[in-house]
Amino acid sequence: MDLKTTPAVPASAAATSPRLSAKAERFTESVIREMTRLALQHGAVNLSQGFPDFPAPPEIKNAAKAAIDADLNQYAITWGAKKFRDAIAANFERMQGIAVDPEREITVCCGSTEAMLSAMMAIINPGDEVVVFEPFYENYGPDAILSGATPRFVRLHPPDWTFDSSELAAAFGPATKAIILNTPNNPTGKVFDRAELETIRDLCLRWNAFAITDEIYEHMLYDGAHHISLATIEGMRDRTITINALSKTYSVTGWRVGWAIAAPGVTAAVRKVHDFVTVGAAAPLQEAGVVALGMPRTYYETLAREYLARRDRLLGILSQAGFRCFQPRGAYYIMTDISRFGFPDDVAFARYLVKEIGVAAVPGSSFYRDPADGRTHLRFTFCKKESTFEAAAERLSRLSRK
């Protein structure tokens, strides 16, 4: 995703057709999703977009099929089927120990993508700023533009992706409406610890700001990392909008079922935006979501163990091929340093990889506002099956370094 500071209108289009939205002109299509299309076009092994290429659990698939057969095929309540909201509340209490009211504090959306945008549209006014850690998941840039917020970026520094608390403090001010936090983090694999979350909390309290947390990778944790929801930090329960989805935890990214948990007043605004944007998420898939969220603890333990093995497998393949890897402690991506391959930048290298080597990855520049800041990085995902890793290893072995 490329955020432009000034709208670019092609002369020919400007001359022949009415002016398009100035907001839509300010960002490009998603680079992550473009890489998936390029992978298909070139028959490349797709380690770019973060979606599993292995099956979803059979009990969840069966529950979806049964719901369709049981004629649950009409609209659910716009903010989510009651049974599903009850399951979300029970799961959040089981995982994070926070009790929320499913009647007044949950909005079911079409994936966490819609939950994030609906949440931002529900709280942003002209002139508002949002603080965003950089590198950032590329959607947050267009989310800011579409909702009318001005992003203030705060750098996460490799190799451990730490931030400087004075830089974070300087990004907050009277115009700050919210901070967007993604932990475990895409693309870095950072898992924010309690002290970091308390620093964020102090600033939110000081400047009366919300926090919107994207916790979609909550169960993908390695090397003893522990996920803490910001809403559990004292003082943050009612100013945090917690976003999550079925997508990653249950390997159903194509279902588009996510949710936002927030205090009743905030939820009322999120529900209104959501209702008029999408009406609601797929009803039979919400029914299947009840089964998903009720999976036993062993399901989550196995998931984490299998992802650890996949992480180590891909770390081995990439290191062998000459990449310098930043070892992730969470989520399912590996950020790499590509300096030693001698390409002019990340986009040139990613194009070469997908066309000539047959492996797709995401250029680092898609996670930075200024593309130059990501030019030595490439992101690979490891939510893939063993045969995919084998093919990637074989192809990457043809790479030569300088």
User: Would you say 237 or 384 has its CB closer to ligand GLN?
Assistant: 384
Q: Answer whether 341's CB lies under 8 Å from 399's CB.
A: yes
- Residue 234 CA, distance from chain mean position: 25
Q: Is the dihedral of CA 338, 341, 347, 352 positive or negative?
A: negative
Task: Please give the Cα distance from 302 to 315 (Å, whole number).
Answer: 20
The nearest distance, CB 134 to ligand GLN, in angstroms, is: 15
User: Would you say 137 or 192 has its CB closer to ligand GLN?
Assistant: 137
- Residue 175 burial (CB < 10 Å; 0-12/13-18/19+)? middle
Residue type, 228: I
User: Would you say 240 or 366 has its CB closer to ligand GLN?
Assistant: 366
The nearest distance, CB 335 to ligand GLN, in angstroms, is: 12
- Residue 88 half-sphere exposure toward CB, CA atoms < 13 A: 31
User: Would you say 333 or 343 has its CB closer to ligand GLN?
Assistant: 333
Paired tokens of 97: 């120990």
User: Would you say 29 or 103 has its CB closer to ligand GLN?
Assistant: 29
Q: Answer whether 330's CB lies under 8 Å from 185's CB.
A: yes
The nearest distance, CB 364 to ligand GLN, in angstroms, is: 13
Q: Answer whether 210's CB lies under 8 Å from 239's CB.
A: yes
Phi-psi region of 241 (alpha: psi -120 to 50; beta: other; left: phi over 0): beta
SS3 of residue 326 by DSSP: strand
Using alpha carbons, select from 174, 167, 64, 181 the residue that is nearest to residue 132. 181
Read off φ and ψ for residue 188, nearest 5 degrees.
-85, -25
User: Would you say 186 or 240 has its CB closer to ligand GLN?
Assistant: 186
The nearest distance, CB 195 to ligand GLN, in angstroms, is: 27
Listed in sequence order, the residues at least 6 apart from 339 whose beta carbon sits closer than 8 Å to its beta carbon are: 324, 376
The nearest distance, CB 217 to ligand GLN, in angstroms, is: 9
User: Would you say 63 or 115 has its CB closer to ligand GLN?
Assistant: 115
The nearest distance, CB 50 to ligand GLN, in angstroms, is: 3
Q: Which residue is nearest to ligand GLN (CB)?
A: 50
Task: Please give the Cα distance from 98 to 54 (Å, whole number).
Answer: 32
User: Would you say 33 or 313 has its CB closer to ligand GLN?
Assistant: 33
The nearest distance, CB 133 to ligand GLN, in angstroms, is: 15
**DSSP 8-state class, residue 167:** H
Footprint on this chain of ligand GLN (rule: CB under 6 A): 32-33, 49-50, 113, 137, 186
The nearest distance, CB 128 to ligand GLN, in angstroms, is: 25
Helix locations, 124-163, DSSP H: 140-147
